[in-house]
Amino acid sequence: MRYFILGFLNQRPMSGYDIKQFLEQFSWLIGSPSFGSLYPALHALLEEGLVSVDITARADKPLRKIYSITNAGRAALHEWLGQLTLSDAPLKSFVMCLILAENLSPAGLATYLHHRRDQVADHLTGLSQTVGTTDDALDLGQRLALDYGLAIATAELSWLDSTLAGLAG
Instruction: Answer yes or no: is 77 within a domain.
Output: yes
The mean pLDDT value of the chain amounts to 87
* Dist. CA 37–CA 25, nearest whole Å: 18
pLDDT at 164 over 90: yes
How sure is the predictor about 166, in pLDDT bands with cuts at 50, 70 and 90? very high
Instruction: Answer yes or no: is 34 within a domain.
Output: yes
Tell me, what amino acid is at 31?
G
- Which residues constitute the domain of residue 110? 105-169
End-to-end distance of the chain based on CA atoms, in angstroms? 33
- The residues with which 58 forms a beta bridge, in sequence order, are 61
pLDDT at 89 over 80: no
* Dist. CA 6–CA 20, nearest whole Å: 13
Instruction: Answer yes or no: is 99 within a domain.
Output: no
* Dist. CA 106–CA 144, nearest whole Å: 38
Report the share of the chain in percent with pLDDT over 90: 40
Give backbone dihedrals phi and psi of 58, rounded to 5 degrees, phi first. -135, 140
